[in-house]
Amino acid sequence: MTDQTTAPATPGPALASARKGTGPTPRDLAARAASRETADHRPAGDAEQARPRPGSAPASGAPASGAPASGAPAAATPGAGDRAREPGPAPGTRMTGAAALVATLERLGVDVVFGIPGGAILPLYDPLFDSPSVRHILVRHEQGAGHAAAGYAQVTGRPGVCMATSGPGATNLVTPLADAYMDSVPVVAITGQVASSLIGTDGFQEADISGITLPVTKHNFLVTKAEDIPRTVAEAFHVASTGRPGPVLVDVAKDALQATTEFRWPPVFDLPGYHPVTRPHSRQVREAARLIAAASRPVLYVGGGVIKAGASQELLELAELTGIPVVTTLMGRGGFPSSHRQNLGMPGMHGTVAAVGALQKSDLLITLGARFDDRVTGKLDTFAPGAAVVHADIDPAEISKNRRADVPIVGDCREVITELIGAVSAEQQQAGHRADLTAWWSQLDAWRSTYPLGYGKPDDGSLAPQFVIERIGKIAGPDAIYVAGVGQHQMWAAQFISHERPGHWLNSGGLGTMGYAVPAAMGAKVASPGACVWAIDGDGCFQMTNQELATCAVEGIPVKIAIINNGNLGMVRQWQTLFYNKRYSNTDLGDRKNELDGTRIPDFVKLADAYGCIGLRCERKEDVDAIIEQAMAINDQPVVIDFIVHKDAMVWPMVAAGTSNSDIKFARDMAPEWETSE
């Protein structure tokens, strides 16, 4: 760690704009602080590619103080009316660095922060105590703060904010930052650091959190001077929410928080080289439209980038214009309505047979905001062997990383799809009709009807976990927000809940973080207090972060939590059953003797009660609806339901790791007959 004013990490890939929430976002407010790049100062070749997204603040290459360099943007100046409405102290006021940081958060429109105080960050907590607009939610573990900030961001489309002190407080944020990085979630983490004179001396509670998080953040900063705090924090919000969203860490030395400075607003950004491309190249879009017009077995392969770009409506228009089937990845669920006839479901390891078969047999993949990850492709060199690929993504590093793109398109998904609609319409007008996909749909419908999603009834009369999750989805409905942990329950929630709205399905997709659901649901509920928020968690995942039930109870955050309790690490047990000869090494979470005596370790109902929540238990199918409806009627306390389910239920369909998608099984030892069904 170097002792300098700001020590930024190497910037990560350029990121898709976050889905817009209601009202002005921090990015909108930060636009006042940004420099405005004019066409006169932009190189001629960049005029189209570098056009900023509406509401975004163009990054500046200008120095932090003084006149901007030639060709660099000039600082924006709010009008008198804007200045009168801005919260916090007036520019020019003398204050501590900590007070300047709080004032910056207020100016950026931050309304909530999740965190835990400690020695190095304590100077920041003092002025935060007096903020009239920033609510602080005291979590019980820093990991909970990070996941809660991510849940908030997923629902609002604005950066979620978390805070922690130096050393172990900061290192406890590593997992949620890595999780947000993998799933492109805009999070700003503010950590306290030991005084600048102690950096590098192995001082008490010192950790090089900038170095530690370098691989798992989009960008990070070390701030050692009070005067640099407003600019750096504003830059962090800008970087987190523009391009491809992602987490940004701001590590602030304790003496910078304690020093006195003059609050300057708006600041001038100092982000040389950061110019995410949002507008696609029109020639590439036209080429994609030509391929679509010529294809006989096309598929729209849709990922989470469509949701983050706020492009769900445009996707619906494109799909209906072309009649092309749609598959939505785990992160893309809700980006296209599950109930729409053209939606074939989720592809990949636990995708539907129709979705997996469509990709394998397609002649053209129109890939929008997806990254060809291994859980979708299976054995990569066998994936969609006959397909040409159009790949549109805001992040140029993703294009051709795993699968070569025949038509690469760098740009924001909403802008790409909007232009693609125009180009496809022009192709159809020229041809006098749209492509005939009758034969293709006949094949897809045959797979869909022959191999639908389903599940069996347990022989011992116990609850089927799929039934429980399906009933939660039916009773809570499509307007609820569903947050899943990681494992079997996550896959069943993706499969058996109808995801009709963007931003209503949250899960840890890339990192697969156990313990994600409870704190992320807490953040989602804070983001949307009027929404019904269900966390669907496994008994293993739940025990990793269930201490945040205390936070929910104390802070008045009435989430609803369904524990799918099979007494095991379910997905690991499934793999042990299928691939390790039923050798169940260390996956049984219970104590058989105690269970026979009627004792449960832990007793989740008692645990919920101890945390100030309502605890319920359900063991019979005939009681499921009544228990869910009872939970739905409670809106002033968190509710925890312990659903005791069959321990050997499995997730099907399944593509075994490292095998071809063509080898998918729709049940154990049962594979679709691709050739005879064609």
Three-state DSSP class for residue 135: strand
Three-state DSSP class for residue 291: helix
Catalytic residue among 204, 320, 579, 629: 204
632 carries an active-site annotation? no
For CA atoms 355, 361, 366, 369, the dihedral sign is positive
Find the largest Cα–Cα distance for the chain: 79
Q: How far is CA 373 from CA 10, 300, 325, 660, in A?
A: 24, 16, 20, 14
d(CA 502, CA 518): 20
d(CA 262, CA 73): 23
Catalytic residue among 49, 205, 443, 637: 205
522 carries an active-site annotation? no
Environment class of 454 (CB within 10 Å of its CB; exposed 0-12, middle 13-18, buried 19+): exposed
Spacing of C-alpha 209 from chain mean position: 22
What are the residues whose beta carbons fall under 8 Å from the beta carbon of 374, sequence distance 6 or more? Answer: 380
What is the helix (H) or strand (E) element at residue 629, kind and residue range? helix 624-632
146-181 in b/e form (b: 16+ CB < 10 A) is: bbbbbbbbbbbbbbbbbbbbbbebbbbbbbbbbbbb
Closest by CA to 545, choosing from 589, 598, 495, 485, is 485
Closest by CA to 52, choosing from 238, 304, 211, is 238
Catalytic residue among 522, 544, 571, 650: 571
94-96/260-262 β-pairing: antiparallel
Number of H helices, E strands in the chain: 26, 21
Catalytic residue among 20, 218, 225, 254: 254
Q: How far is CA 473 from CA 342, 464, 540, 631, in A?
A: 21, 15, 22, 13
Phi, psi of 559 (to 5 degrees): -75, 165
204 carries an active-site annotation? yes
Catalytic residue among 37, 86, 106, 142: 142
Decide if 305 contacts 184 (C-beta within 8 A): yes
- Tokens coding 581: 């000869």
For CA atoms 509, 396, 327, 281, the dihedral sign is positive
254 carries an active-site annotation? yes
Please name the amino acid found at residue 226: A
Catalytic center residues: 142, 204-205, 254, 571
